[in-house]
């Protein structure tokens, strides 16, 4: 994956996030692909992600199959505005027409916090990690993916 584009690095400091759960200073790097404009600001994106991370996770430490974890305070590590959404929903209508749902401009946000999988293996509790990422659709502000591995790069990139 090679990008010929130049990226801009911005250092966002001192965002007033207004949430007591966000204990650590919200400073992080923001990378924006040249030519891209966004509806959401980095502050908007940070608030969505940090709000999610601040919500209680339904994990019972010590319960069968559930690893113990003291989650770190939610903190944004970095975010990137990029083109290409690898997980658009492709709706196939009864008449055979296809509609893609989701925009092409997304925010990929890496963060510290409690990342708990909603799916789990048989006989095993949820996957619990202390860092991961969220992907937000810039157009809707909706979370379109979350996980613990870097999301794939856009096709052909």
If one asks whether residue 118 binds other proteins (CB under 8 A), the answer comes out as yes
CB neighbour burial string for 39-77, b if at least 16 within 10 angstroms, e if fewer:
ebebeebbbbbbebbbeeeebeeeeeebeeeebeebbbe
Q: How many other CB atoms are found less than 10 A from the CB of residue 82?
A: 24
14 lies in the site for other proteins, by CB under 8 A: no
35 vs 155, beta carbon nearer other proteins: 155
68 binds other proteins (CB under 8 A): no
24 touches other proteins by CB under 8 A: no
Contact flag: residue 59 with other proteins (CB under 8 A): yes
Report yes or no: 50 and 22 within 8 Å, Cβ to Cβ: yes
Cβ distance to other proteins smaller for residue 15 or 106: 106
Under rule CB under 8 A, residue 153 binds other proteins: yes
Contact at 8 Å (CB) between 105 and 139? Answer: yes
Binding footprint of other proteins on the chain (CB under 8 A): 52, 55-60, 63-66, 86-94, 96, 98-99, 101-102, 116-129, 142-149, 151-153
């Amino acid at each position: 994956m090679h990008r010929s584009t130049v990226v801009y690095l911005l250092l966002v400091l001192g965002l007033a996030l207004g949430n007591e759960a966000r204990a650590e200073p919200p400073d992080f790097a923001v990378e924006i692909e040249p030519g891209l404009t966004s509806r959401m600001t980095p502050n908007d994106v940070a608030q969505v992600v940090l709000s999610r991370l601040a919500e209680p996770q339904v994990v019972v430490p010590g319960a069968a199959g559930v690893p113990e974890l003291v989650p770190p305070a939610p903190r944004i590590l970095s975010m990137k505005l990029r083109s290409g959404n690898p997980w658009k929903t492709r709706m196939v209508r009864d008449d055979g027409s296809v509609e893609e749902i989701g925009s092409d401009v997304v925010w990929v946000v890496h963060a510290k916090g409690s990342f708990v999988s909603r799916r789990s293996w048989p006989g095993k509790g949820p996957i619990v990690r202390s860092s991961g990422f969220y992907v937000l659709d810039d157009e809707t502000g909706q979370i379109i993916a979350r996980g613990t591995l870097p999301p794939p790069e856009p096709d052909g990139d």
